[in-house]
Amino acid sequence: MPLLIPELIRKKRDGESLESDEIREFLTGVTTGEVPDYQISAMLMAVYLRGLDDAELTAWADAMLHSGDVLDLSRIDRAKVDKHSTGGVGDKISLPLAPAVAACGLAVPMVSGRGLGHTGGTLDKLESIPGFRVDLDVETFARIVDRVGACIIGQTERIAPADGVLYALRDVTATVESIPLIASSIMSKKLAEGTDGLVLDCKVGTGAFMKTRERAADLARALLAIGRAAGKSVTAVLTAMDDPIGDRVGNALEVEESIAVLHGEGPADTRELTVRLGAEMLLCVDACETPEEGAERLAAVLDDGSALEIFRRMVEAQGGDPRVVDDPRGILPQAAGRTAVPAAASGYVAAIAADEIGTAALLLGAGRRRKEDRLDPAVGIEIARRSGDAVRAGEPIAYLIHNGHGAEEASARVRAAYDIRDRPPAVSSRILEIMR
């Protein structure tokens, strides 16, 4: 007989543990539509308030994973590994990272998401390349991964459909911040990719969902627990997200920066994250013996053009214009306006509030407030002065790349983001901690 859903809600509300079969039946009902939204919402709030213990978390994530298809990539005779980021401002790392790791001999099947709020989405960035398709069927996806080494697509209706229902309701029931719900949402989709290993980039700071290192570490531990229970090799990396990553924020602008990294150039922090996260991807599937060896290999494929060639082939295989790798500004959409934002004072840039920069880009049209909003792929922000740089009052600290919309308010946001002081700050690595 079907379980009585109100009884399950009561159990979790009162702090009792749910059994694995109870969780499976509940989430099966979520997927089939047999459990109505009002009962799902009640359960989400009960989980938000009471949490899930380790056994419940593992069962919840597993039930979400098996609510849909788990990809079979056994035809690919290389180790398969992916990276997931919890999201940040200017976080374009997947774009250079996937082809770089593929150039080291691994397969990188990547199912990514879209941006919401001030954090950008990998799919939105890639779709700024004319013709690039992220809506491929799973057979085409697997074929490209096998032939090219990397492919990046969006979540299909067949992957973790229970998550799609829960995700939409979490957004409107004030339950988004629940670590068990975040962790199971992420891992149900990532485990469905059929990879051998996974590296999780857990962002910490003003531009991240997790504002404190403690909260980010809690999320990392939950992600690791789910991955290990599924028999996967998983590593979590805590990375700083107080300043924007790199010097471009906005979809086409971030593609341009990613291509620079694939040419062996680009901002130091974008390259550092690409190299260090890539090294951990190699390490977690035993493709190198030490992080140092992995980092050397990643640096080499960025510098010798082999990662760039994989990116070119991936773009072409997914319907995009491969000329973008040689002439990004000639191929990517370009905005009509470029407006300087002057420094309010002289001194040194002590910090740049990433959330303010992200909001400024959103005001220009680079992001979406609601999932149905349309983006302007050409607009965004170029960072002219970064943390540690000297600046004089009136000099440009950033440039707004816009199409005549939102520039005045965005300029105010950018000025507010900059903390200018008398002495230069200590600028350190973005890598805060590695949890293996």
For the domain that residue 399 is a member of, what is the CATH number? 3.90.1170.30
Residues 31, 170: one domain?
Answer: no
In a domain, 436, yes or no: no
Residues 249, 124: one domain?
Answer: yes
Helix (H) or strand (E) holding 103: helix 94-103
In a domain, 74, yes or no: no
User: Are the CB atoms for 32 and 22 separated by under 8 Å?
Assistant: no
Residues 344, 229: one domain?
Answer: no
- CA-CA distance, 415 to 119, in Å (whole number)? 19
The residue with tokens 């309010």 is 344
Active site residues: 84, 163, 170, 185, 189
Residues 278, 341: one domain?
Answer: no
Last residue of a domain, one of 300, 328, 356: 328
Residues 349, 323: one domain?
Answer: no
Domain count, the chain: 3
Quick one: DSSP state of residue 80?
B
Residues 135, 26: one domain?
Answer: no
Here the CATH number for the domain that contains residue 47 is 1.20.970.10
User: Are the CB atoms for 61 and 182 separated by under 8 Å?
Assistant: no
- CA-CA distance, 396 to 213, in Å (whole number)? 32
Here the CATH number for the domain that contains residue 182 is 3.40.1030.10
Residues 306, 398: one domain?
Answer: no
Compute how many other C-beta atoms are within 10 angstroms of the C-beta atom of residue 13: 16
For 401, phi then psi, to 5°, come to -105, 110
Residues 258, 125: one domain?
Answer: yes
Residues 208, 316: one domain?
Answer: yes
In a domain, 37, yes or no: yes
- Which residues sit opposite 401 in a β-bridge? 338, 380
Which domain range does residue 47 map to?
Answer: 5-51
Model pTM score: 0.93
In a domain, 66, yes or no: no
- CA-CA distance, 204 to 289, in Å (whole number)? 28
User: Are the CB atoms for 339 and 384 separated by under 8 Å?
Assistant: no
Residues 317, 174: one domain?
Answer: yes
Last residue of a domain, one of 328, 348, 383: 328
Closest of 38, 45, 23 to residue 162, by C-alpha? 23
- CA-CA distance, 358 to 192, in Å (whole number)? 30
User: Are the CB atoms for 251 and 366 separated by under 8 Å?
Assistant: yes
Tokens of 248: 């471009």
- CA-CA distance, 96 to 206, in Å (whole number)? 24
Closest of 153, 73, 108, 65 to residue 277, by C-alpha? 108
- CA-CA distance, 251 to 367, in Å (whole number)? 9
3-class state of residue 13 by DSSP: helix
Query: Tens-digit pLDDT profile for the chain (436 aa)?
Result: 456 999 999 999 999 999 999 999 999 999 999 999 999 999 999 999 999 999 999 999 999 999 999 998 999 999 999 999 998 899 999 999 999 999 999 999 998 887 655 566 899 999 999 999 999 998 999 999 999 999 999 888 788 999 989 988 998 899 988 999 999 999 999 999 889 999 999 999 988 889 999 999 999 999 999 999 999 999 999 999 999 999 999 999 999 999 999 999 999 999 999 999 999 999 999 999 999 999 999 999 999 999 999 999 999 999 999 999 999 999 999 999 999 999 999 999 999 999 999 999 999 999 877 766 789 999 999 999 999 999 999 999 999 999 999 999 999 999 999 999 999 999 889 999 999 9
User: Are the CB atoms for 107 and 149 separated by under 8 Å?
Assistant: yes
In a domain, 61, yes or no: no
- Checking DSSP bridges between strand 396-402 and strand 337-342, what pairing results, if any? antiparallel
Last residue of a domain, one of 302, 328, 354: 328
In a domain, 109, yes or no: yes
In a domain, 72, yes or no: no
In a domain, 377, yes or no: yes
Residues 278, 306: one domain?
Answer: yes
- CA-CA distance, 181 to 167, in Å (whole number)? 9
DSSP per-residue letters across 408-429: HHHHHHHHHHEEEESSPPPP--
Q: Using alpha carbons only, what angle is made at residue 78 by residues 73 and 82, rounded to the nearest 5 degrees? A: 70
Task: Provide the greatest CA pair distance for the chain.
Answer: 73
Residues 253, 153: one domain?
Answer: yes
